[in-house]
């Protein structure tokens, strides 16, 4: 099969003349901010595959363990800073009226980079939202407390980089915390609170999905950007196919050569770190960006 294009200049010309642009982002976008990806190196959390903790069943079985996992991820996300990739996408959103960015990331870094809310959809929710596990409807949005509650403080400790946080050492038992001491729903008072993310076996927010589908179906799409995602989780990954059906040229930004699989000679593949590549790709529209993500 013929390879996809790799010319930055050719992409810049395409972007200049493009109107409707869809993006799908994944954990790789936040890799340069120091946040671990799901399926990449260092994949385990203690001895668990992280995806095995991301289910309602896992929470039912051991809510304390699942909360420790999320409390640790919240802490990392709150400590991390958006990188140039997040800023580049946020700037593109400000410049292009018809740009919609779908992110699978729950770390809050795109909103913190100033990505306009109307042009961003958090497909998998947010680590910073807490909602009732019993589905009474209560949701506490953008909760920035760290630790999320005193009992989960061992997940929010900072350790020098050469030492391992005890919580992350599978040989050290998970701190013993009673279920009463993890967050409870203040509304129905019967349920536990849980992270406001979409877990495996759960559906994405129906209203959000139908709004996204309407946007996709409306008319021709010029570009589909696929940034830092293994594109293996549905329905998110399906948007690349939908956009292609609407005429889109697919543009993949990812250090993994395998992620160019399925691209055709009219598509583009930029192999590398999204925080380095995106500012270059968008420069013609957003201007030059300094190392901190400011437009010069």
Count of chain residues binding ligand OAD (CB under 6 A)? 27
Q: Count how many Cα atoms sit within 13 Å of the Cα of residue 96 in the half-sphere of its side chain.
A: 27
State which of residues 8, 38, 46, 271 lies at the interface with ligand OAD (CB under 6 A): 38
Is 27 one of the binding residues for ligand OAD (CB under 6 A)? yes
Three-class DSSP category at 184: strand
Half-sphere exposure of 169 (CA within 13 A, CB side): 10
Residue 58 in the binding site for ligand OAD (CB under 6 A) = no
Which residue's CB is nearer to ligand OAD, number 37 or number 126? 37
Residue 201: left if φ>0, alpha if ψ -120 to 50, beta else—which one?
left
Question: Contact with ligand OAD (CB under 6 A): which of 39, 112, 242, 246?
Answer: 39
Among 22, 23, 32, 71, binds ligand OAD (CB under 6 A): 32
Residue 203 to residues 46, 123, 163, 209, Cα–Cα distance (Å)? 27, 10, 38, 10
Question: Is 229 one of the binding residues for ligand OAD (CB under 6 A)?
Answer: yes
- Asked if 204 and 197 touch (Cβ cutoff 8 Å), the reply is no
Binding window for ligand OAD (CB under 6 A); candidates: 22-30, 72-80, 159-167, 211-219: 22-30
Q: Which letter does DSSP use for residue 264 in this model?
A: -
What element of type H or E holds 280? helix 274-286
Which residues contribute to the site for ligand OAD (CB under 6 A)? Answer: 26-28, 31-32, 37-40, 51, 54, 104, 124, 197-198, 228-230, 232-233, 253-256, 259, 273-274
Return the active site residues: 124
């Amino acid at each position: 099969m013929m390879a996809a294009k790799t010319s930055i200049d050719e992409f810049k010309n395409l972007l200049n003349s493009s109107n409707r642009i869809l993006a799908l982002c994944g954990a790789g976008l936040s890799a340069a901010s120091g946040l671990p990806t799901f399926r990449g190196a260092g994949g385990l959390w203690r001895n668990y595959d992280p995806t095995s903790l991301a289910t309602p069943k896992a929470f039912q079985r051991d809510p304390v363990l699942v909360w420790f996992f999320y409390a640790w991820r919240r802490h990392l996300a709150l400590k991390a800073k958006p990188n140039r990739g997040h800023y580049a996408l946020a700037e593109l959103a400000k410049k292009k009226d018809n740009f919609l960015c779908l992110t699978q990331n729950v770390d809050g870094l795109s909103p913190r980079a100033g990505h306009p809310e109307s042009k961003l959809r958090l497909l998998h929710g947010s680590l910073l939202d807490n909602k009732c596990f019993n589905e009474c409807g209560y949701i506490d949005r953008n909760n920035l407390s760290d630790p999320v509650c005193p009992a989960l403080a061992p997940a929010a400790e900072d350790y020098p980089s050469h030492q391992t946080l005890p919580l992350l050492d599978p040989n050290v038992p998970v701190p013993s915390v009673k279920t009463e001491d993890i967050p409870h729903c203040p509304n129905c008072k019967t349920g536990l609170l849980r992270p406001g993310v979409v877990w495996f076996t759960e559906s994405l927010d129906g209203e959000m999905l139908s709004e996204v589908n309407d946007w996709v179906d409306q008319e021709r799409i010029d570009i589909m950007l696929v940034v830092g995602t293994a594109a293996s989780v549905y329905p998110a990954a399906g948007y690349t196919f939908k956009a292609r059906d609407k005429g889109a040229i697919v543009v993949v930004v990812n250090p993994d050569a395998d992620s160019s699989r399925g691209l055709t000679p009219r598509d583009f593949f930029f192999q590398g770190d999204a925080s380095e590549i995106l500012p270059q790709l968008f420069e013609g529209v957003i201007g030059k960006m300094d190392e901190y993500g400011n437009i010069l």
